[in-house]
Structure 1
Amino acid sequence: MIARKRTSPVTKSEKPPTEHKPTIASAEDFRLAPPKLRVIFVISSLLCSLYLYLLCFHYNLIPVAARYVLRRNMFGFDINKRGTPQGDVKVPESLGIVVGIVFLIVAIIFQFFNFTEDSLWLVEYNAALASICFMILLGFVDDVLDVPWRVKLLLPSFATLPLLMAYAGHTTIVIPKPLVSYVGLEILDLGRIYKLYMALLAVFCTNSINIHAGLNGLEIGQTVVIAAAILIHNVMQIGASVDTEFRQAHAFSIYLTQPLMATSLAMLAYNWYPSAVFVGDTYTVFAGMTMAVAGILGHFSETLLIFFLPQVLNFLLSLPQLAGIVKCPRHRLPKFDPATGLLTGTKDGTLVNVYLRIFGRKSEKSLCIHLLVFQALACALCFLLRHFLAGWYK
């Protein structure tokens, strides 16, 4: 049996273990862990499935509603196709009521997933939905009773009352830096004048969508473009800010704009050239009010007005006829030539006619695409202005 050798109690002094220093990898040696694409794919699929379900549900609801409005003799004829077989087809009108109803259902159910009972934003959210619902009702009344356009200008001012009464946000404006030396203030409190400004902004946005129309797909197309710009702007502002209230205001705007864009895309499939349905004033006033509310409660009304640059130009061109200085016909549409299928600009003061007078005759589909591209360029101009004027203007 082999005995184990005992160690001597006196051992040689051992050197203390050297401290391990972590090695710092250079930029060339750095390797990023592979991304978890599966997680992103699963989450995106769940979100997209809900989004696509909304589109499909609304998409299938439109033909059902179209049959009902035809039974009530709510139809019209496409004036821009007069003299052709398509010009004699009865086109269902006022289908904007479908967009509005689906929007309200989605927006109301959304409260269950986002807001709590003591949420400070819940009151303003419900007030915003009340104003939008009020505007949908007034728009549908206009489609049924054919309200005179002078009365139509005042309808949004009544619809904004729930929002104005419940608004508890700030009423101050930031004076542009180049004007601070002249005004003597950096921040100016407008008080009730600010609420008057909110009401006027809602009136403008609502009616500007309504009067910049007359082509298949133009009303919904411009709404989709502006709504996309609003969503991009909100996401950019949320990512660039650390202020909780500021981020919540822009998130609030997203809550209203996202369902507007989803329902509008479903309707655009039926309203694009050649249009199978007409959205009527119900949709135009609803879309304008929704974007106005999103801009007001998101606190980016100046940016919203630049997004509406084509609508501002159309309003300025229409002002002589709207004020009664120049005779205003019922339909200020371009002249259609059945032989060529092209539209010719008339002397009426609209952006559609001015565009045709400058760039020549075009088909209805081509003209609508050109105007939507112009709308997108106006939104891109807004982003460029915000980028180059940041730090100098405000």
Structure 2
Amino acid sequence: MPALYASLGMSIIAFLATVYLIPRLGPVFIAADLKGKDLLKSYNDPIPESMGLVCAAVYILLLMLFIPFAFSSSIMKRASGTDISEGINVVDFPHHQLSVYLSSLLSLLTATMLGFLDDVFDIRWRHKLPIPIIASVPLLMVYYAERGNTHVVVPLPLRGILGTLLNLGPLYYVYMSLLSTFATNSINILAGINGSEVSQALIIALSVIFNDLLYLPWPIDFRIPVYLLGNKAEVEFGGVWSAGMSYGSRELVERHLFSLYFMMPLVAVCVAFMYHNWYPARAFPGDTLCYVTGMAFAVVGIHSHFSKTLLLFFIPQIFNFLLSCPQLFGVVPCPRHRVPRFDVNANLLYPSKIIFEKPPSQLTTYVLRIFSTFGLTELTFHATSGIILEATNLTILNFFLVRLGPMNEKRLVQVLMCSQVAGSALAFVVRYGLAGLVYDGNRR
């Protein structure tokens, strides 16, 4: 698979280019007034913002340069007129695969443009939610033009009612557009501390890569005892097309190669940017990085046909979204910034709070009391009337501070990263273990 090695080489170039360009272009961004101040620091030095644009530019440029390598087997076969006995190849040039690749690039470019516009004009949340849907239109159109499958496998307990396969039709396209919306915004709302956005994207991308590797052909034979996760058998790897969980399927191998082509450079630029965004940050990602990484995940989830598995890697983001819903939908007041509160003297972060200037409504009180019962928020009551006076903001970062106590910013992002890793580990247990209880065969 020479294209995979080329992708690895391109990823190394992406890493080096991003590491080099971020500090060089920082003063240029500051001069253009693309700068911000770190709310959780005692100093007020300007820090270049929207530097995710640099990451996106390097990432997309190298994906463009990689196009000849991605289709090298077809190009070489057409040029030489010889048959290739092993590896991924097709008789004719795979125009449909090229259209999928180009539509993915178009969606990434659109996400970059819209993300940068968000950075410049500071678009409000209710207006920015549809932005990923716009960026996903090229993906969905190519998926439709290629007669993409809109059937889903029905879980075993429901097959007596719905049958083995259920055709969702247009609802499947709605689901895919919502997937792109969630993938981008879920990373965006889990932000506020140094390294939070890029660390999420990095760990999710690494999880996707590990999942992809399970489906590739390996020249050596080995087994993974997935029965330890609840499955019924072991998975055997080995041979060019006896590719582990692909079970000899060329189509599955090609899908996961496509995913690797997009994820490996993404990991490279994320690692490079994390070097500059790690505590104390010398560069801020802005919304552009969140949009591009989220759209990249949507691209591989949709075109490589493992969207359900992809969503499992977003367990912390799903938890944060559900926790934030009362504030996002106006049930509980939502301030502009919900980042933790910084104590300059102690150099520690504390949960930020909502202060109710007037008694909250019955619905707000009911929701907050339920959340408090489960330890998701911390409430302050009036001594005599019992009316809620304060409540901690409903984010996973504030949740960690409520449950684990005050900590410095570096430790908090480490806790966030540990939760992301734990979420990915749980995702693999669910996908390759517990899923066998409700699905038969290899259901993705």
**Structure 1 Cα separation of the partners of residues 432 and 252 of structure 2:** 19
1:296 corresponding residue in structure 2: 302
1:205 corresponding residue in structure 2: 183
1:310 corresponding residue in structure 2: 316
Instruction: State the structure with more CA Rg.
Output: 1
* Aligned sequence identity (%): 39
**Structure 2 Cα separation of the partners of residues 188 and 249 of structure 1:** 23
Structure 2 residue 196 is matched with structure 1 residue 190: no
2:124 corresponding residue in structure 1: 148
Residues 278-312 of structure 1 deviation map (CA, whole Å, 9 limit, x = unaligned): 00001111111111111111111111111101000
1:39 corresponding residue in structure 2: none
**Structure 1 Cα separation of the partners of residues 156 and 4 of structure 2:** 42
In structure 2, relative to structure 1, the CA distance for the partners of 1:110 and 1:46 (3 Å cut) is closer
Q: Which runs of 5+ in 1 are unaligned?
A: 1-42
Residues 233-289 of structure 1 deviation map (CA, whole Å, 9 limit, x = unaligned): 111133321111122112111111111111111111100000000000011111111
Alignment of 1:152-301 (within 5 A): 152-167=128-143, 168=146, 169-183=148-162, 185-238=163-216, 239=243, 240-241=245-246, 242-301=248-307
Query: What is the one-letter code of the residue matched to 1:361?
Result: P
**Structure 1 Cα separation of the partners of residues 185 and 11 of structure 2:** 29
In structure 2, relative to structure 1, the CA distance for the partners of 1:287 and 1:197 (3 Å cut) is same
Q: Which runs of 5+ in 2 are unaligned?
A: 75-92, 217-242, 353-391, 440-444
Which 4+ runs in 1 deviate beyond 6 A?
A: 43-48
**Structure 1 Cα separation of the partners of residues 435 and 130 of structure 2:** 36
2:58 corresponding residue in structure 1: 102
In structure 2, relative to structure 1, the CA distance for the partners of 1:108 and 1:218 (3 Å cut) is same
1:70 corresponding residue in structure 2: 30
**Structure 1 Cα separation of the partners of residues 94 and 10 of structure 2:** 27
Verify the 8 A CA contact 2:55 2:269 in the aligned structure 1. yes
Verify the 8 A CA contact 2:8 2:264 in the aligned structure 1. no
Structure with the larger strand share:
2
Q: CA deviation at 1:49?
A: 5.7
Q: CA deviation at 1:45?
A: 9.8
Structure 2 residue 181 is matched with structure 1 residue 136: no
Give the match's secondary structure for 2:61. helix
In structure 2, relative to structure 1, the CA distance for the partners of 1:150 and 1:343 (3 Å cut) is same
In structure 2, relative to structure 1, the CA distance for the partners of 1:135 and 1:360 (3 Å cut) is same
Give the match's secondary structure for 2:192. coil
Q: CA deviation at 1:326?
A: 1.4
Q: CA deviation at 1:44?
A: 11
2:422 corresponding residue in structure 1: 377
Give the match's secondary structure for 1:273. coil
Query: What is the one-letter code of the residue matched to 2:345?
Result: A
Q: CA deviation at 1:120?
A: 2.3
**Structure 2 Cα separation of the partners of residues 227 and 53 of structure 1:** 18
Residues 111-146 of structure 1 deviation map (CA, whole Å, 9 limit, x = unaligned): 111225543211111111111110110000011111
TM-score (ref. length: structure 2): 0.75
User: CA RMSD, aligned part only?
Assistant: 1.8
